[in-house]
A and B are shown apart, each in its own frame.
Chain A
Amino acid sequence: DAGVIQSPRHEVTEMGQEVTLRCKPISGHNSLFWYRQTMMRGLELLIYFNNNVPIDDSGMPEDRFSAKMPNASFSTLKIQPSEPRDSAVYFCASSFAWDSGSNEQFFGPGTRLTVL
């Protein structure tokens, strides 16, 4: 298995532009997570999906952020419009979870976003 795949790996954009980050989870996993990592705030959970349904988006910072999971093999995180403070590394992770507790999460390599 190729693991969790994220694209692009690096993104440099100007303030106000739309940014779309993509993620392909590991086949067979039923949970998908989007995280943001910065030096100041550490690793923050933005949103997670279970069986393609958003379960908790309370970590999404603002309405400028949106995430979709149209099918079990693809998810996007969109920022529109982007701002310099959105600069961070964005990770996607997937796992197979059941009601009795969390399982290990498999992380993608991340997308380093720089908003100028």
Chain B
Amino acid sequence: SQQGEEDPQALSIQEGENATMNCSYKTSINNLQWYRQNSGRGLVHLILIRSNEREKHSGRLRVTLDTSKKSSSLLITASRAADTASYFCATDASQAGTALIFGKGTTLSVSS
């Protein structure tokens, strides 16, 4: 069963604009991770935010986590055509924390 659900399913923007994707989940988590998948490739880890953190930055990426609402957002600032990909959030599946459950992803299309 899906733990994380991304919203929107698809997003189309112009280069230079910001892209915001949201993720909602159902149960308590140890951490939440965001991954990117380019067409025909494997997933690549972008950023991890722990349950006791509220915000994290990595380059043009900004992730927030609201454990009271069981939600997270990924913001990509000043988007580029190369950011075109699918983005997935993933949460721990168990207390032991070794398995992740992925959402169905948001497909981002950035046009130049």
A→B interface (CB under 8 Å): 4, 31, 33, 35, 42-43, 45, 48, 50, 55-56, 91, 93, 95, 97, 99-110
A42 to B4, alpha carbons, bound, how many Å?
12
> Contact: A99 with B97, CB < 8 Å?
yes
A51 to B102, alpha carbons, bound, how many Å?
22
Enumerate 22 A-B pairs (CB-CB under 8 Å) in ascending A order: A4-B42, A33-B99, A33-B100, A43-B43, A43-B88, A43-B102, A43-B104, A43-B105, A45-B100, A56-B93, A97-B97, A97-B98, A100-B97, A101-B30, A101-B92, A102-B30, A102-B31, A105-B100, A107-B42, A107-B43, A108-B42, A110-B41
A108 to B41, alpha carbons, bound, how many Å?
8
Smallest distance from the beta carbon of A56 to chain B beta carbons, Å?
A: 6
Which residue of the partner chain A has the closest CB to B100? A102
B50 CB-CB contact with A under 8 Å: yes
Residues of A within 8 A of B42 (CB): 4, 91, 93, 107-110
> Contact: A48 with B50, CB < 8 Å?
no
Taking chain A's interface residues, is the majority helix, strand, or loop, or is none over half, making it mixed? strand
Residues of B within 8 A of A50 (CB): 98
Contact with A along B76-112 (1 / 0, CB 8 A): 0000000000001000111011111111110000000
Which residue of the partner chain B has the closest CB to A4? B42
A101 to B105, alpha carbons, bound, how many Å?
22
Top 6 closest A-B pairs, CB basis?
Answer: A107-B42, A101-B30, A104-B45, A42-B104, A101-B97, A97-B98
B75 CB-CB contact with A under 8 Å: no
